[in-house]
Structure 1
């Protein structure tokens, strides 16, 4: 018998857009403002496009995931960036084989 897996309190954040100065500083600063801890980050520049994926811990956060997603998406749009925030469990479910 397998034990049910506890629900994760982590999220996956993706950022895509034209490379510009300060993208990582902006995202990490907004996360710090909301007490969201960055667990892992990977970023690269493909041609002139910036791509980043972060795994973050929502446990200490002072904001709900929906509010965080809305804030980052809206502010990202203003900067010409596509920002998505997904709960880890939803991300895993959508990308399972």
Structure 2
């Protein structure tokens, strides 16, 4: 299957995160960028945490999020650890 191009930098490819919106040429899902931004990280500072991304990619991801919030919120919820999962993971590290 070929990737579906959604924006200049955002694609969906079934082989990457099950078709979740991802930055083209990377395995970085849009939700990762959105979660950093929602935690208070300024877009201009996100490349410090994800140095393989450009500012243009980050702003494009946030623009995609602005138009597809429900889709990205569902992706965030699907990947969220429950308290029990987190406690189990922490205890076994």
**TM > 0.5 fold call:** no
Task: Give the TM-score of the pair, scaled to structure 1.
Answer: 0.26
So what's the TM-score if we normalise by structure 2?
Answer: 0.27
Which structure's residues are more often helix, by fraction? 2
- Structure with more contact order per residue of length (Cα contacts < 8 Å, sep ≥ 6): 1
